[in-house]
Structure 1
């Protein structure tokens, strides 16, 4: 059960319903994860040293401004995936003509089949919602289908001193070492973290890793 007494979403249909409800019922600054500049993510993407034509995918993107900032930096092959139509329409409207070539796809990250492989997979705060081993296995299968050999992985979750729930759902907190250990076949290249300040002024500890597929 969630904090609000609602059954925890555990399949594609209920996950879609839950996250569509979150994005439909709240404003951008009404969710704890909102940030106008995703500095933690951008810093790790920079360390990957990608060419501007390399394909990048942001999974569980929601309202994230990551693609906006990458468009501004000149990246030309960007995709964002989320379960919420509302969230992605907000991103489309916000990007405007400058982001006309950004691919926005409504899909479940646990069964992601984009029909191509990417140079970098970015996830800020999807992975920590995966509290069950089968969910994490499905995520890894999607990742392995979607990321090319030698590709880069950026994943951020709540850190060991972060919240224990988000949007009423339980989460799993990770240290850098614990998070890196979740991805067999990937080499840890760098770690980072931040104390994210929510729109209402509370602090959330985030842990992030940069890894490379072997």
Structure 2
């Protein structure tokens, strides 16, 4: 138990938890909100991916990443989250310009999109996975979803970041520790930022850019 809350430990509980987090709040009512995801955009830029390459943002919430990628000319974009409310907010915000963006309510620990992607982006999902079996399920979803040679961008709280977020415990990582979580991937670059929350506190983020070097995977499902 954390801050009086029971940690969700199955798909239904996780969906309810994150729906409750988003429901009835403004977008700037959550600590991770940022109008311009500069850290993520910088790492996406490093990949040199063309505008037709498929990109997926997992645990997207209210993130504006897909908005900015659309503005940069990317045309094959998907965003996944457990919260219906969060994704509906994104749909309303994108309007007609984002009609082709795929928004999917799904659990990243059992993600089966039926296709593969050139880039998997995750800002602040992985650090919520405090159990080994959760991290194994995440890695299985990643391997199903990312094509050989594909790019991985993951950001978590850094070693000096918070120990909890949204009432839940998290795992903090150094760049090396985070990169070591992904066997079969080569570290290409690291980055970080001190994210300023909407209410003025600072959160240290660690991020890695990696590339898949193995093709051992199950077919997308």
Q: Give me the TM-score of the superposition, normalised by structure 2.
A: 0.96
Q: Name the counterpart of 1:2.
A: 2
Q: Name the counterpart of 2:117.
A: 118
* Aligned counterparts of 2:206 and 2:43: Cα–Cα separation in 1: 12
* Aligned counterparts of 2:102 and 2:96: Cα–Cα separation in 1: 13
* Aligned counterparts of 1:191 and 1:132: Cα–Cα separation in 2: 24
Q: Over aligned residue pairs, what C-alpha RMSD do you find?
A: 0.4
* Aligned counterparts of 1:103 and 1:31: Cα–Cα separation in 2: 23
* Aligned counterparts of 2:207 and 2:121: Cα–Cα separation in 1: 11
Q: Report matched runs for 1:87-98 at 5 Å.
A: 87-98=86-97
Q: Give me the TM-score of the superposition, normalised by structure 1.
A: 0.99
* Aligned counterparts of 1:209 and 1:174: Cα–Cα separation in 2: 11
Q: Name the counterpart of 1:59.
A: 58
Shift of 1:6: 1.8
Q: Does 1:206 align with 2:200?
A: no
Shift of 1:202: 0.4
* Aligned counterparts of 1:31 and 1:117: Cα–Cα separation in 2: 30
Deviations 1:159-207 (A, max 9, x none): 0000000000000000000000000000000000000000000000000
* Aligned counterparts of 1:194 and 1:90: Cα–Cα separation in 2: 26
* Aligned counterparts of 2:24 and 2:189: Cα–Cα separation in 1: 37
* Aligned counterparts of 2:105 and 2:145: Cα–Cα separation in 1: 16
Q: Report matched runs for 1:1-214 at 5 Å.
A: 1-3=1-3, 5-214=4-213
SS of match in other structure, 1:25: coil
* Aligned counterparts of 1:160 and 1:115: Cα–Cα separation in 2: 36
SS of match in other structure, 2:23: helix
* Aligned counterparts of 1:96 and 1:2: Cα–Cα separation in 2: 38
Shift of 1:27: 1.3
* Aligned counterparts of 1:95 and 1:17: Cα–Cα separation in 2: 25
Q: Which blocks of at least 5 consecutive residues in structure 1 are unaligned?
A: none
Q: Which blocks of at least 5 consecutive residues in structure 2 are unaligned?
A: 214-221
User: Number of paired residues?
Assistant: 213
Deviations 1:128-156 (A, max 9, x none): 00000000000000000000000000000
